[in-house]
Amino acid sequence: MHFELLADRAQAVPTVARWYFDAWEHAAPESSFEKTCERIAAQLDRDRLPIPVLALEGERVVGVATLKAHEMGSLYPENTPWLGGVFVSPESRGKGIAAQLALRIAAMASSLGAAQLYLQTTALDGGLYARLGWKPIEQVPYRGVDVLVMEKTLG
């Protein structure tokens, strides 16, 4: 497996948009697959957040995660940056890809000078992220779902 920035593989935008739309965005009344494609296509940056990172097996895109300036709207304006949008294709799950993406984003954040990295997850026990050393901050309701906000100190 290897990693590439979405900016370097723009042809993957529809794949990422389909994953995000089907997993999270389809229920929003104002959402559409086309709008999700437009939003993802606007993130084709290499040096300005948000920066999506793809996981590839050979030439096949199997996962994505994004280093973001903020997450969860204005709930945590002082917390930056965030790991978000972690998604692994269903047929590629169980291979440690999400963990590798999380570690890759943490390394990117550290290289940019961040001392902490934040995320929110619906796994209220912290799941994968707890196993990777993330610490809980608090559990809060967000968009009708309880989520756990977590942080990781970067080295």
Q: What is the pLDDT of residues 107-150, one digit of tens each?
A: 999 999 999 999 999 999 999 999 999 999 999 998 888 999 99
- Residue 82 vs residues 25, 58, 71, 115: alpha-carbon distances, Å: 19, 28, 6, 12
Q: Would you put residue 21 in left (φ > 0), alpha (ψ -120 to 50) or beta?
A: alpha
2-114: CATH number: 3.40.630.30
Q: What is the pLDDT of residue 152?
A: 98
30-47 confidence digits (pLDDT tens):
889 999 999 999 999 998
3-state secondary structure of 131: helix
Residue keyed to tokens 């000078």: 113
Q: What is the pLDDT of residue 79?
A: 95
Residue 61 class from Cβ within 10 Å (0-12 exposed, 13-18 middle, 19+ buried)?
A: buried
The domain spans of the chain are 2-114
55-91 confidence digits (pLDDT tens):
999 999 999 999 999 998 778 999 999 999 999 999 9
Is pTM, for the whole model, over 0.95? no
% of the chain at pLDDT higher than 70: 100
Supply φ then ψ for residue 66, to 5 degrees.
Answer: -130, 135
Say if CB 113 and CB 146 are below 8 A apart.
no
Query: Chain-wide mean pLDDT for the chain?
Result: 94
The CA distance from 140 to 84, in Å, is 17
84-102 confidence digits (pLDDT tens):
999 999 999 999 999 999 9
Which amino acid does the sequence have at 75? L
Which amino acid does the sequence have at 33? F
The CA distance from 7 to 27, in Å, is 27
